[in-house]
Amino acid sequence: MLNIHNASVYFAGRNGAPIKALDRISLEIPAGGIVVALGASGCGKSTLLNAIAGFLPLSEGTITLEGKPVTGPGADRGVVFQKDTLLPWRNVVDNVALGLDFAGFPRSVARPKAQELLQLVGLQDFAHSAPYELSGGMRQRVGIARALATDPAILLMDEPFGALDSLTREQMQELLISVWDKTKKTIFLITHSIDEALSLATHVVVMSPRPGRIAARYDVAFVRRFARTGLWGAVTSDPEFIRLREDIRALIHQSDLPIADMQRSAAHE
Amino acid sequence: MSDAIAECQRLAATEAPAPRIVALRDVGLGTGKTLGVSAATIVVLLSLWGLVSGMRLVAPLFLPTPSEVVAQFVAVFQDGYANATLAQHLSASLIRISLAAAIALALAVPIGLAMGLNRWAKGVFDPPIEFYWPLPPLSYLPLMIIWLGIGETSKIALLALAMFAPICLSAQAGVRSVPLERVNAALSLGATRWQLFRHIVLPSALPEILTGLRIALGVGWGTLVAAELIASTRGIGYMIMSASNFLATDVVFVGIAVIAACAFVFSYALRWLETVLVPWKGKS
């Protein structure tokens, strides 16, 4: 379980005045759940993920993972980035084994384990390909396998499918659900797609911008139903799904900056 | 039905003429082949040289004919020139430039990487390097000779200094070009500082370092000839200088051809090294 308590982040503004990017966020990510942070750009969802990953220190507040405070990046939190960050000088299986290599596992342990994870994401036949020989979707799958290799307590995903075309994206969502179903990993994922949030989450957290705040939370169960049935259509055409989608859309539009405010910030820049 | 379709496809495959292969039009040069044009240019230049010198439009003292240069090459190769064989001149130059390149690499790569990674290293090394590297090596050659004598040391030191800066600057640029996400990805996989350096920073900077080495070798050949002009008894540069003193223009041509051939071989060797060490360059 990951706990975020009163987390605030201030960045340096152009004139030296601090800009509040996250405003006293408190959030609990339960073990085995998929918490999806949803919001327009600038709502602080990436900032929040960077803080959980340990790439960004908090200005105020605490983050604890299974009781231990987060002070920096570590292998207990696997990260999948929007842009793939595979090492071009390592082939696919060696990329997946990177974290195991860092941890000092011998090749004879790390490679079979990496191969196993490639199987999990359906890339067992591409173990010896170079990353640049794979498509964007395949590279992202390697990224997921790599993040899982060190058996992290939580998987952090920063708009992992944002750069993919919509067809590949749907396949990747299915893949993620099957991986989650098999590994029971805790996942924190950020997206700006309402449909993606509702389809993947056990808990949706809607964020509003300037400063980043949590505007609403929803507990949903569509992902469990999908994992059971494997039918997208039945899930996305569910009246409850459609109602929630409209609710969230209205909420996001309503939390947009008023016109006057926008003009003020435009004049500022 | 499907049989009929297959039959049609078979007929189409056998009867259709070879399809016209198309691709998007390029802007600028694109992938247009230049090899033929370049070969033709070389042929034209060589024949022009042969024509002008053969018709004695220019005095042989200024422009020997190609056949004279070839004959002189054979003569220098067999009998040597200025108290040394061509092989001795060449090996003297090659040893100087290789030693200097090795010294420059051994110093410039660690220092450049450190400057890219560490505030202190950057602060300490920046002023001296920024001061000396725009200077033409010939301007501090006298200092090298005064401090290190007229032997090999001053020549190799001069070459190493000239080659140091491009490698050092490119190693620094290499570190700066490492994407932050790549570093963060490694940290979140549990990399220690040393592992981050060894597995992420160093390989990421390698393409830039190789580019720096290529530039350095170019600078090295330029500086080599200058260094050998002064107080030496061996070396291709010395051979050229000595020949020019006796107005042996054909020997000067031989020397130039040898240097050009060496520089070409070095440049190709480095390109080959690039394909071996950084096959991913430009692909990700």
For residues B225-232, give the mean pLDDT. 80
Number of Cβ within a 10 Å radius of residue B113 = 21
pTM: 0.81
Give the torsion through C-alpha atoms of B141, B146, B148, B151, to 10 deg: 80
CB contact under 8 A, A89 and B278: yes
Asked if pLDDT for residue A116 goes beyond 70, the answer is: yes
Task: Find the closest chain A residue to B179 by CA distance.
Answer: A85
Q: What are the chain B neighbours of A146 within 8 Å (beta carbons)?
A: 189
Interface check for B186 against chain A (CB to CB < 8 A): the answer is yes
Interface check for B205 against chain A (CB to CB < 8 A): the answer is no
- For residues B258 and B99, what is the distance between their CA atoms, to the nearest angstrom? 19
Q: Which residues have C-beta within 8 Å of that of residue B93, sequence separation ≥ 6?
A: B224, B228, B235, B236, B237, B262
Confidence grade of residue A39 (pLDDT, cut at 50, 70, 90): confident
Q: Which residues have C-beta within 8 Å of that of residue B238, sequence separation ≥ 6?
A: B82, B89, B92, B228, B229, B232
Task: Find the closest chain B residue to A95 by CA distance.
Answer: B186
At residue A268, the pLDDT reads: 43
- For residues B223 and B229, what is the distance between their CA atoms, to the nearest angstrom? 10
Are the CB atoms for B50 and B58 separated by under 8 Å?
Answer: no
CB contact under 8 A, A55 and B187: yes
Closest-CA distance of chain B to residue A98, Å:
7
Confidence grade of residue B21 (pLDDT, cut at 50, 70, 90): confident
At residue A255, the pLDDT reads: 64
A60-65 β-sheet, strand order: A18-29, A2-12, A60-65, A68-69
CB contact under 8 A, A130 and B280: yes
CB contact under 8 A, A102 and B187: no
Q: Which residue has the tokens 């090459």?
A: B73
Q: What are the chain B neighbours of A99 within 8 Å (beta carbons)?
A: 189-190
| Interval A159-193: pLDDT, tens | 998 888 888 888 888 889 988 988 889 999 999 89
Taking a contact as any Cβ pair under 8 Å apart, which residues of chain B between 215 and 274 contact chain A?
none
Task: Find the closest chain A residue to B191 by CA distance.
Answer: A102
For residues B139-160, give the mean pLDDT. 89
Task: Find the closest chain B residue to A52 by CA distance.
Answer: B188
| Interval A202-213: pLDDT, tens | 999 999 888 888
Give φ, ψ of B59 to 5 degrees: -60, 140
A242 versus B226: which is more confidently predicted?
A: A242
At residue A269, the pLDDT reads: 39
CB contact under 8 A, B195 and A75: no
> Using the 8-state DSSP alphabet, how is residue A257 labeled?
P
Q: What are the chain A neighbours of B202 within 8 Å (beta carbons)?
A: none
* Nearest in space to B63 (alpha carbons), one of B45, B76, B81, B75: B45
Closest-CA distance of chain B to residue A198, Å:
27
A266 versus A226: which is more confidently predicted?
A: A226
CB contact under 8 A, B186 and A88: no
Using CA atoms, how far residue B181 sits from A79, A95, B171, in Å, is 10, 15, 20
CB contact under 8 A, B280 and A132: yes
Confidence grade of residue B5 (pLDDT, cut at 50, 70, 90): low
Nearest to B184 among A73, A147, A149 (CB): A73
Mean per-residue pLDDT of chain A: 87
Label each residue of chain B as H, E or C.
CHHHHHHHHHHHHHHCCCCCCCCCCCCCCCCCCCHHHHHHHHHHHHHHHHHHHHCCCCCCCCCCCHHHHHHHHHHHHHHCECCECHHHHHHHHHHHHHHHHHHHHHHHHHHHHHHHHCHHHHHHHHHHHHHHCCCCHHHHHHHHHHHHCCCHHHHHHHHHHHHHHHHHHHHHHHHHCCCHHHHHHHHHCCCCHHHHHHHHHHHHHHHHHHHHHHHHHHHHHHHHHHHHHCCCCCCHHHHHHHHHHCCCHHHHHHHHHHHHHHHHHHHHHHHHHHHHHCCCCCCC
Task: Find the closest chain B residue to A132 by CA distance.
Answer: B284
| Interval A185-195: pLDDT, tens | 999 999 989 98
Asked if pLDDT for residue A267 goes beyond 50, the answer is: no
Interface check for B181 against chain A (CB to CB < 8 A): the answer is yes
Residues of A engaging B, defined by a Cβ cutoff of 8 Å? 53-55, 72-75, 77-79, 81, 83, 85-89, 98-99, 101-103, 130-132, 146-147, 149-150, 156
- For residues A173 and A182, what is the distance between their CA atoms, to the nearest angstrom? 14
Task: Find the closest chain B residue to A101 by CA distance.
Answer: B191
Q: What are the chain B neighbours of A83 within 8 Å (beta carbons)?
A: 181
Mean per-residue pLDDT of chain B: 88
Closest-CA distance of chain B to residue A150, Å:
7
CB pairs under 8 A between A and B: 71
Give SS3 for A136.
helix
Q: What are the chain B neighbours of A130 within 8 Å (beta carbons)?
A: 279-280, 283
- The Cβ-side half-sphere exposure at B128, using a 13 Å CA radius, reads 9
| Interhelix angle B86-117/B249-277, nearest 10 degrees | 40
Asked if pLDDT for residue A258 goes beyond 60, the answer is: no
